[in-house]
A and B are shown apart, each in its own frame.
Chain A
């Protein structure tokens, strides 16, 4: 019952839009980090969110994943309305995320990191842990098996028992994705997954993201690297100074004069 319907959008949901953010604003003191931002993400697409540094990408991300409470506005996800979600409730609802500056459970192994990702889809409590009855044992076995599977899926199955903090940078990024996937997300939200990666690593990340989408998970991608976004995303939104200045197909957005101005630092000042 707690298993989210994977690929449910092909069957039960006629609704095409997975996430609909409406007029989200977020102020930090006097600073307006987000100003009336609306956007929608369709099921099954890879949606890119780009913009210069400090444009509000991560802020929007944190609102959608429940870490921040928006000053105004709200969003619909998978048919339910959220104004100020709590992170664990949104994870339960099917949004999984990674972090811009990797936040793994560093003193735990890669396997345990992914096993923790299964927490939200499993149910054993204190009594299950103490009695270790057959259903708890089955659940533990399933958690371990799924974690191994996911480590293999993202291509770091060799590092199962290595502590997260001792993995290489690229492996840590992949482990974060595996951990997020362990929550069976409908929407996988990645905050600059290619930051600090070399060209080869970026290319293989791109392939991984395409596989993930191919398996039916919608992807929201914040990225600094415009090239990665252009080759990967179905649709792109551009944020600048907390406002959405463009949205649409990557080719259109790339040629949009306001976007070029924002990126080149031109504009009106």
Chain B
């Protein structure tokens, strides 16, 4: 990609953008509407993976409970955009709470960010395995709380989850019903796709800017050697908290989008397996590299669906019955893929910038760094 000139790069950018804008229509035409929904979920996973990439890829803090922030964001949206709170507070909220999307989304992101600091503060001295275990515990605590906070006051409605969540409405346009714009029909899943596309682009932008900044460098210094980083004057406590908060903010925002899209949240969407899934997207794609993380997100979000739609018909055709169910095959393939990856491409499918730079030699890299400074 880097052998292209600047104008070529611009062309590729526009081509990619056009492709992305047409993606829901193409998917709809080629694979059916169900797949557009799957693509929407893939976008949510990409946002999550990019958020986790800040914590794990940049700052080097292994977080196994990341899905908790997604849960916090989703429940924030669910509570402030559904009739649910009527049950607990009939007097205060006779009709539930129905805040608009533009208030709920920042609120969810902010609260999730707060939870990020809450998790970060007690774990500042921990690294590696120990941090992983504490964050894993944190993720489970959040899930168990959500599961049990239906008594004494019914806050989360327990394992049944919260339903009848308001769909996302932007400027009085509800994204849950088909809209006609200039005579073109935009079904709900298409509308959500564009919403998610905008937010994913925003997350990519923020990640990219942070990566090449004073803050990003400080995070990487902490990742490489915390003691040396502090000896260089980096306030490791604040920067680690910032990494946790930033990552959690992204997680919370995507959680809110998820709740609005799905219309229903329940604790079982936020299991440990989901945390591991998101972490695998980051690791598989290429820790610390935005393009790699996106690739990892796309692959791992689509893989189970591809299997679901191919394994059963294939077995039916071959054996006349289903021998291996797609869910267990998914885990088998998944584990196998991870082992192969760690053996042959330990840095991920698309390794981060620095490792690539090494392979390309110094001159091209020097040019790139000049480019970075002037742009």
Q: Contact residues of A with B, CB < 8 Å?
A: 65-67, 86-88, 91-92, 96-97, 99, 103-109, 111-112, 115-117, 119-122, 124-126, 128-130, 132, 136, 139-141, 143-144, 160-163, 166, 179-180, 182-183
Q: How far is the CA of A99 from the CA of B373 in the complex (A)?
A: 30
Question: Are B214's CB and A119's CB within 8 A?
Answer: yes
Which residues from A are CB-within-8-Å of B210? Answer: 126, 129-130
Q: How far is the CA of A128 from the CA of B358 in the complex (A)?
A: 29
Which residues from B are CB-within-8-Å of A92? Answer: 233
Q: What's the dominant secondary structure at chain B's contact region?
A: helix
Given contacts A91-B232, A108-B224, A117-B232, contact A129 B373 (CB under 8 A): no
Given contacts A122-B214, A163-B354, contact A91 B362 (CB under 8 A): no
Residue B92 CB within 8 A of the other chain: no
Given contacts A107-B354, A125-B215, A161-B362, contact A65 B231 (CB under 8 A): yes
Given contacts A88-B233, A119-B232, A130-B206, contact A103 B227 (CB under 8 A): yes
Which residues from A are CB-within-8-Å of B322? Answer: none
Q: Of residues B213, B214, B215, which shows the largest number of chain A Cβ atoms within 10 Å of its Cβ?
A: B214
Q: Contact residues of B with A, CB < 8 Å?
A: 206, 209-210, 213-218, 220-221, 224-225, 227-236, 242, 246, 354-355, 357-358, 362, 365-366, 369, 373
Which residues from A are CB-within-8-Å of B233? Answer: 87-88, 91-92, 119-121, 183
- Measured CB to CB, the closest approach of chain A to B143, in angstroms, equals 29
Q: How far is the CA of A129 from the CA of B228 in the complex (A)?
A: 23
- Measured CB to CB, the closest approach of chain B to A86, in angstroms, equals 7
Which residues from B are CB-within-8-Å of A115? Answer: 217
Question: Are A140's CB and B373's CB within 8 A?
Answer: yes
Q: How far is the CA of A117 from the CA of B230 in the complex (A)?
A: 10
- Measured CB to CB, the closest approach of chain B to A175, in angstroms, equals 12
Which residues from A are CB-within-8-Å of B354? Answer: 107-109, 163
Question: Are B232's CB and A161's CB within 8 A?
Answer: no
Q: Of residues A91, A99, A179, which shows the largest number of chain B Cβ atoms within 10 Å of its Cβ?
A: A91
Question: Are B217's CB and A119's CB within 8 A?
Answer: yes
Given contacts A124-B215, A129-B209, contact A67 B373 (CB under 8 A): no
Q: How far is the CA of A139 from the CA of B215 in the complex (A)?
A: 13
Which residues from A are CB-within-8-Å of B235? Answer: 88
Q: Of residues B213, B220, B231, which shows the largest number of chain A Cβ atoms within 10 Å of its Cβ?
A: B231
